[in-house]
Structure 1
Amino acid sequence: MMGYLARRLVSLALSLVVASAVIFLVVEVAPGDPASFMLGMNAQSDTVAALRSELGLDLPPVQRYLAWIGGMMTGDFGVSYTYRAPVAQMVAERVQVSLPLALLALGLAVVIALPAGIVAATHRGKAADLGVVGATQLGVAIPNFWFAMLLVLLFALKLRWFSAGGFPGWSDPVMALKSLTLPAVALALPQAAILARVLRSSLIDILSEDFMRTARAKGLSRRQTLWRHGLRAALIPVLTILGLQFSFLLAGAIIIEQVFFLPGLGRLIFQAITQRDLIVVESVTMLLVFAVIAVNFLTDLAYVAADPRLRR
């Protein structure tokens, strides 16, 4: 087990090094100069040069890359070109929206998908199975931003149960969770559909295995066999999807954050790209990459917990 853990940690570190180099190179070759963008098209060349020197943009790329990586390792993510505020402070403010939103959406997806997948697998070919399969196809096909707008029209504008957008902050937890409910539902629908389909397919394969028939032959009921043996064996592909979904929900909810005017990480990256705020783009993207790699690492550990054979 310790050898497996050491190998995964080495792989995690190498992935972070490669990812940091790729992110820096991609941002470097992107067109546009932050200093020229900040000063406008009519700025004098000497003024642009002075601002580039102040921002450190005139240094060699290798030196800027090493300074950026060294700062991130010590918790210094740099200072935003546009807002002149520490990037770490901006990320800390935005993650208070994105992380609870991702966790809430993932929790809703699991609550919807697990019973749906189990019902569909245990009633294969019957009306319940056909209903779940049809609902999941609809959930995958509907764009989440379109579904989000429908939720706003119904629950915010017509019924007035929720606000149409914005985030009041965590000073009032009830209002904060209420403002995240509609975005979380919009994000959870397609993820729940995917998760339910994966669980259904995995359980159908597991239910036909020899060890399941052996468990039934030993006197266990169908329900006991399913919960004690079948569901645990079917969790490997489900855990893979959960890890990918959490990474997507944390980093890929840009459109939903725009629909509901949520000040999250996705919206921060979108604004930084339009404003050519390179240090924000690099640092936030690197943090999101780290989150994705860390989630995948924890998913691998969950594999081992679910199936001890993988320790070898």
Structure 2
Amino acid sequence: MLRYALRRLISLGVTLLVASLVIFLALEVVPGDPAAYMLGVNARPDTLAALRAELGLDQTPPARYAAWVAGMLTGDLGLSYTYRTPVVDMIVERLQVSLPLAVYALALSTLIAFPAGIWAAARRGSVVDVVVMGVTQLGVAIPNFWFAMLMVLVFSINLRWFSAGGFPGWEAGVGPGLKALTLPAVALALPQASILARIMRSALIETLSEDYIRTARAKGLSRGQALWRHALRNAMIPVLTIIGLQFSFLLAGVIIIENVFFLPGLGRLVFQAIAARDLIAVESVVMFLVFAVVVVNFAVDLAYAWVDPRLRGRR
């Protein structure tokens, strides 16, 4: 298990290095000068040159990349051009919204998907199976931002059960904070729960057709006992893959939802930084999100090895 983990750690490091290079090069080819954007079109050349030197924009691209990577290794992600605040402080502040939102949405997705997928697999071909698959197909087809706006219309404007947007801060209490995140979490969880339920059903149905399940049934186990004792654990590998990918998506892909509900999270920060051409903030936040995705995938790989020890010797 230790050798398996070390191999995955090396792969993680290589992935992060390549990702940092791609992110830096992608932002290097973006037209425009952040210093000129900040000072406006009427800025004097000497003032513009001074600001570019202050921001480090007068250095060569390799020097800026090396300084950026060296800073990341020491926990220094640079200073935001727009807010004049350390980017790491901005990430920590915004993460207090985005991380609970992602965990909340993933918890809702899992709580909905597991019973639905297991129930549909246990009753394959029945009315229950058809209804569950029809509902999940609808959940996959509905865009989450449209569903978010629909929930605002129903639960915020008409029923007035929830606020239409904003976040009161955790200092106002856990209850108000979770209430403010409920509609965004449901909007994010609906399509993810639909996907996860379908994967759970397919994995269970495939596992239930294996020879060892038929052997267990021949020894006297009922279909339900074979499902819970043997099939469920072996069907978890593709499900763990989807859960890992979903958490990564929920953490890194909430730009639209956070803007619909005016949540001060990482997604909204990226949107604002792009609009302000705050390149250091954009590349650092995106790199942090890549790091989160890679770490989650690493955790999923370790979970694979725990669920199925045979995988430890294959990579």
> Do these two structures clear the TM 0.5 threshold for a shared fold by scoring above it?
yes
The residue number in structure 1 matching 2:203 is 202
For the pair 1:267 / 2:265, whether they are aligned, the reply is no
For 2:216 and 2:41, locate their aligned partners in 1 and report how far apart those are by CA, in whole Å. Answer: 74
1:135-179 deviations in whole A, cap 9, x for unaligned? 011000101011001111111111111111000000111000000
- Equivalences for 1:129-278 in 2 at 5 Å? 129-171=129-171, 172-278=173-279
For 1:85 and 1:277, locate their aligned partners in 2 and report how far apart those are by CA, in whole Å. Answer: 12
- Equivalences for 1:41-120 in 2 at 5 Å? 41-120=41-120
1:24-53 deviations in whole A, cap 9, x for unaligned? 111111111100000011212222111101
Deviates more, 1:215-224 or 1:256-265: 215-224
Could you tell me how far 1:231 is from its partner in structure 2?
0.7
The normalised TM-score by structure 2 is 0.97
For 1:56 and 1:311, locate their aligned partners in 2 and report how far apart those are by CA, in whole Å. Answer: 46
For 1:45 and 1:218, locate their aligned partners in 2 and report how far apart those are by CA, in whole Å. Answer: 85
For 1:265 and 1:9, locate their aligned partners in 2 and report how far apart those are by CA, in whole Å. Answer: 26
RMSD of aligned alpha carbons: 0.9
For 2:236 and 2:118, locate their aligned partners in 1 and report how far apart those are by CA, in whole Å. Answer: 12
Aligned partner letter, 1:297: F
Assess if the C-alpha contact under 8 Å between 2:109 and 2:192 holds in 1.
yes
Identity of aligned residues (%): 70
For 2:160 and 2:92, locate their aligned partners in 1 and report how far apart those are by CA, in whole Å. Answer: 31
For 1:123 and 1:226, locate their aligned partners in 2 and report how far apart those are by CA, in whole Å. Answer: 12
Aligned partner letter, 2:174: P
Could you tell me how far 1:268 is from its partner in structure 2?
0.3
Q: Runs of 5+ in structure 1 lacking a partner? A: none
For the pair 1:293 / 2:294, whether they are aligned, the reply is yes
For 2:46 and 2:2, locate their aligned partners in 1 and report how far apart those are by CA, in whole Å. Answer: 58
Could you tell me how far 1:104 is from its partner in structure 2?
0.4
* Total equivalences in the alignment: 312
SS of structure 2 residue aligned to 1:138: helix
For 1:2 and 1:162, locate their aligned partners in 2 and report how far apart those are by CA, in whole Å. Answer: 48
Assess if the C-alpha contact under 8 Å between 2:122 and 2:224 holds in 1.
no
**Which stretches of structure 1, 4 residues or longer, exceed 3 Å deviation after superposition?**
none
For 1:176 and 1:27, locate their aligned partners in 2 and report how far apart those are by CA, in whole Å. Answer: 35
For 1:234 and 1:79, locate their aligned partners in 2 and report how far apart those are by CA, in whole Å. Answer: 46
Could you tell me how far 1:219 is from its partner in structure 2?
2.7
